[in-house]
Amino acid sequence: MHVSQRPYSLLVILLISGILIGCNGNKPQPPKEEKTGTVKLMTSGRYWEGIERGMNQMFIPEFKAKTGIDIKIQHYANSPDVLNALRVAVNQDKNIPDFMWIDLMDVPAYEKADLLMDLSDLVAPFRDQLPKAFIHAASTTDGRMIGVPHHISADLMLYNRNKIAEDELPTSYEELLTWCKANPGRYSYRGNGEGLSTALMNFLYGFNALSYDKDPAKLFDVETNPEIVEVFQFLKELYPYVKQPLYNDYPVIITDMAAESIWLFSNWDSELLRMRVDKGADYIGLHPMLQLKGKSDMRPICSGGWMFAIPKKSPHPEEARQFIEFLMTKEMQNKAIWNPQTGKSYTGHIPIRGDALAALSDSMKVLLWDIQDVDTMLPAMFANFANRPKVPYYHDLSSLLQQVHNDIILNNADIIETLNRAQSQLDRFVQATLESAP
């Protein structure tokens, strides 16, 4: 007798289906996307420790409470990575940051890539409160501001009041040499991780080896720029009396200043605050002239700094503008410097808006930076800021300058021969830049 296989086939199918359904029921399901009803911005950049802490602890929470807009930080280890990541994001049309944190010295590279919005109108309401040097640094060659400078970052002359009376302070580079000979090992000039020491920049501007009307492409040319020879002749004479040239270790610098082993030193304005407040070294004072006089009447103050910028393809440009406008208010300018709740600094830098600094109480100005007289200090500071060279080959120039310094000062190489070799290298850097131009 033939028995139909159909019922068995149906049974097998049902059993298999049940097993599959059961398996699918146990399979982890992707989480449902939470809808908050708010925009979440993404910002990228080489956010250094102070500004990132300020963003996470104060700026972003306050902005979110005010607007409902949250912000996530994408941190990069160095400036070239920030630019390269933006290029990739734009080419792939995904993961483009809403706004960015960019070093002012990288403006030429971003201008060449044509990736950033013109923010001149955003800056316009407070432009007259910004130092011209910072406006210049954040602007393109045709005058568009593609970034908003956030704070003053300047190399200022500091001294130990316990060891030096104000009327004993050197006021020029010639007087500095005399002072160092009388006080060996009590002065140093600072270096930094970018190679081109801002303190060394002060020497270049002070001796007129570098100026706004000189082409940095010929910095080491002894024929067209004989002042560069004078700079290294001076540094060579100064060297035996310096504790350590291009002093580069921030924690050690602060400790040495606080321990009073160094009496005279150039450093960022933010380090002045940290020494006075975090280290309790209120005897560290700000040179009343801010820096030393050079060959001309200029007292060059090398300035660096950072800016906020918005990519042209930002997914949320209006919200990004809203956040930058929020940070540039006088209130937030001062909160970026100092957290009144904890009594600790965030960026520690002097507010870039002159009216924001003026709005601080006199006691806070003295406590934080030893600023006694804002009305006198600001015009002097604004007039003497000296930007680092704003050229596409800045990083190459930076490394080359430090190499030249070390060869001549530390290794006692011949000045003219070393400068001639350096100029040949610089010529190659400049030519490579020209050849890569679009």
Domain ranges of the chain: 40-151+305-360, 155-303+388-435
Residue closest to 401 by CA, chosen among 123, 203, 200: 200
- CA-to-CA distance for 429 and 342, rounded, in angstroms? 47
Summarised one tens digit per residue, pLDDT across range 357-412 is: 888 888 888 888 888 888 888 888 888 888 888 888 887 888 898 889 989 998 99
Higher-pLDDT residue of 177, 215: 177
CB 69 within 8 Å of CB 38: yes
Summarised one tens digit per residue, pLDDT across range 19-65 is: 444 444 444 443 333 334 467 999 999 998 888 988 998 899 999 99
pLDDT of residue 246: 63
pLDDT of residue 274: 81
pLDDT of residue 319: 97
Summarised one tens digit per residue, pLDDT across range 78-92 is: 888 999 999 999 999
For the beta sheet containing 306-309, the strands, ordered from the edge strand earlier in sequence to the opposite edge, are 70-75, 40-45, 99-103, 306-309, 148-149
CB 203 within 8 Å of CB 190: no
CB 150 within 8 Å of CB 326: no
Listed ranges 45-54, 59-68, 187-196, 273-282; the one with the highest mean pLDDT:
59-68
pTM of the complete model = 0.82
pLDDT level of residue 250 (50, 70, 90 thresholds): low
> What average pLDDT score do residues 226-244 get?
94
Angle value at C-alpha 412, between 407 and 415, nearest 5 degrees:
70
Summarised one tens digit per residue, pLDDT across range 137-170 is: 999 999 999 999 998 888 889 999 999 999 999 9
The amino acid sitting at 313 is K
Helix (H, G, I), strand (E, B) or coil at 293: strand
What letter does residue 168 receive in the DSSP assignment? G
Class for the domain spanning 155-303+388-435: alpha beta
> What average pLDDT score do residues 254-261 get?
80
Average pLDDT score over the chain: 84
> What average pLDDT score do residues 339-348 get?
72
- CA-to-CA distance for 377 and 371, rounded, in angstroms? 8
- Kindly list the distances between the CA atom of residue 123 and the CA atoms of 129, 283, 300, 329, in Å, as whole numbers in the listed order: 10, 37, 26, 11
Residue closest to 170 by CA, chosen among 161, 156, 185, 157: 157
The phi, psi pair for 160, rounded to 5°, reads: -100, 115
Looking at domain 40-151+305-360, what is its CATH homologous superfamily? Answer: Periplasmic binding protein-like II (3.40.190.10)
The reply to whether 40-151+305-360 and 155-303+388-435 are identical in fold is: yes
CB 160 within 8 Å of CB 263: yes
pLDDT level of residue 11 (50, 70, 90 thresholds): very low
